[in-house]
């Protein structure tokens, strides 16, 4: 039941999560997202159907031939918590309705002491791809780097608190915080078409791990349960487009 998806929160990374806070069409309307797409393609009223076989066949036709606009009739609204290194990659997707996003501001709210990303492993630089990472470092070296990273976080946060205690404005005190690793919370809205574009790019094997795990969680926990026909067609015709 798609009703159960509203309010569902899934943990991601060490301290992150993603939550579905709204869906259009809303489950209370009694119209599935797949049917909303089909209905839009027929330019008919919501809920009108020609039977499951014909409806699903039409949806697959739309996906296969890239008749895209009907897929914009379904929208997802997420609340998510992710480190800045993920955030900056996310906002590059300008069609992810970023104009409909609102992010936490360190100018108004203080950061908690544990709001920093600690990776489970440290990846080596890829030998041939300047933008990618390769195999993990040995455990002993990873553990040493993790301990140094945590010590760095602790000192930065101590200085942040010290600045706040001296009356420094929050917008300036945050300069002491390790920028790329601090967790932010924001709300984003996206239609199914542009979400599929995001998923296709960010679930790819060469996508950075810290954003790939969010894309995988969205697809597995929200997109596929909400739009099973669309997900099936996406996997068959669109997920690996361009490879």
User: Exposure of 214 by Cβ count < 10 A (0-12 exposed, 13-18 middle, 19+ buried)?
Assistant: buried
Instruction: List active site positions.
Output: 202
User: Which residue has 């296709």 as its token pair?
Assistant: 200
What lies within 8 Å, CB to CB, of 34 at 6+ separation is 55, 56, 59, 227, 228, 229, 230
User: Exposure of 227 by Cβ count < 10 A (0-12 exposed, 13-18 middle, 19+ buried)?
Assistant: buried
| Phi, psi values for residue 188, rounded to 5° | -130, 150
Which residue blocks in the chain are alpha helix, DSSP H? Answer: 33-41, 52-64, 84-90, 139-165, 170-173, 192-202, 209-218, 224-226, 228-233
């Amino acid at each position: 039941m798609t009703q159960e998806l509203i309010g569902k929160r899934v943990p991601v990374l060490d301290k992150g999560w993603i939550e579905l806070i709204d869906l259009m069409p809303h489950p209370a309307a009694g119209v599935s997202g797949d049917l909303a797409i089909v209905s839009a393609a027929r330019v008919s009223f919501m809920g009108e159907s020609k039977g499951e076989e014909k409806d699903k066949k039409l949806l697959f036709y739309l996906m296969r031939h890239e008749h895209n606009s009907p897929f914009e009739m379904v929208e997802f609204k997420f609340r998510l918590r992710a480190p800045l290194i993920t955030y900056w990659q996310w906002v590059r997707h300008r069609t992810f309705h970023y104009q409909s996003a609102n992010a936490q501001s360190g100018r108004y709210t203080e950061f908690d002491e544990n709001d920093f990303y600690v990776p489970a492993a440290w990846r080596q630089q890829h030998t041939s791809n300047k933008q990618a990472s390769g195999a993990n470092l040995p455990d002993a070296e990873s553990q040493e780097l993790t301990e140094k990273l945590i010590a760095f976080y602790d000192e930065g946060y101590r200085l942040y608190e010290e600045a706040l205690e001296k009356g420094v404005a929050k917008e300036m005190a945050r300069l002491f915080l390790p920028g790329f690793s601090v967790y932010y919370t924001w709300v984003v809205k996206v239609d199914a078409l542009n979400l599929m574009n995001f998923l296709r790019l960010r679930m790819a094997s060469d996508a950075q791990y810290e954003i790939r795990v969010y894309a995988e969680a969205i697809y597995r926990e929200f997109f596929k349960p909400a739009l099973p026909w669309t997900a099936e067609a996406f996997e068959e015709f669109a997920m690996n487009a361009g490879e």
